[in-house]
Structure 1
């Protein structure tokens, strides 16, 4: 059992990361939130890789949140410690053919 399963509050929030990536990702704020400060500086200095890096990060986060809502446990995007992010796009997530609470679960 990894640390993120023992303490879900230690996991970074996928929705916060997605919102930061969409609105402030061009200057790397999403990377700073995830603890990836070196790539955050690089992203800020290149203005999101002239928009390409910003677009790819936003797309991966959106796809990751969508797939998590459909039951995928491990995502594409990790934080600086290699932990998966938590929360999907909806309040309930489909897991093993059943809906379970996502946003307000422990």
Structure 2
């Protein structure tokens, strides 16, 4: 005797009886073939359409621009390899290009291809506040004087 012969089989008429038994007598039962599957849900925290999944994240671009913009990592991340290399070789245009690109990211001007960065509308306020707090902390710690003394020590 095999395992398949020990399991009782349910006939199609028994299945129909079970599906109607789950409903009240005045309610009609829908056959299982008429039930359509639900569409897949987007990932948690994702307000955009599923076709935007290939787009680059605004938060990642902003953090790369803020922290490593002088190396051009924000440009590399958004697919601008030639300008990213020039930005890295010039150390962010001696800081000027870095600040301009950070402003472009915060204003929503830096794009990936022809589409806006994913999550810009949702996270732009947090990015502005975070950038402002970073500038206040950097100024209070006198990071510019520290960088200046390090550069004069190297030369």
User: TM-score, structure 1 length as denominator?
Assistant: 0.64
Distance 2:111 2:120 in 1: 14
Offset of residue 6 of structure 1: 5.8
Offset of residue 63 of structure 1: 2.3
Query: What are the superposed Cα offsets for residues 22-56 of structure 1, whole Å, 9 maximum, x if unpaired?
Result: 00010000000001100000000000011000000
Higher helix fraction: Structure 1 or Structure 2?
A: 2
Query: What are the superposed Cα offsets for residues 35-88 of structure 1, whole Å, 9 maximum, x if unpaired?
Result: 110000000000001100000000121122xxxxxxxxxxx2112x22221113
Distance 2:121 2:99 in 1: 19
Distance 1:58 1:6 in 2: 28
Match of 2:102 among 38, 58, 70: 58
Higher strand fraction: Structure 1 or Structure 2?
A: 1
Q: Which runs of 4+ in 1 moved over 3 A?
A: none
State whether residues 15 and 89 of structure 1, in contact with CA within 8 Å, keep that contact through their aligned partners in structure 2: no
State whether residues 61 and 77 of structure 1, in contact with CA within 8 Å, keep that contact through their aligned partners in structure 2: yes
Counterpart in the other structure of 1:25: 69
Counterpart in the other structure of 1:99: none
Whether 1:8 aligns to 2:49 is: no
Distance 1:89 1:24 in 2: 23
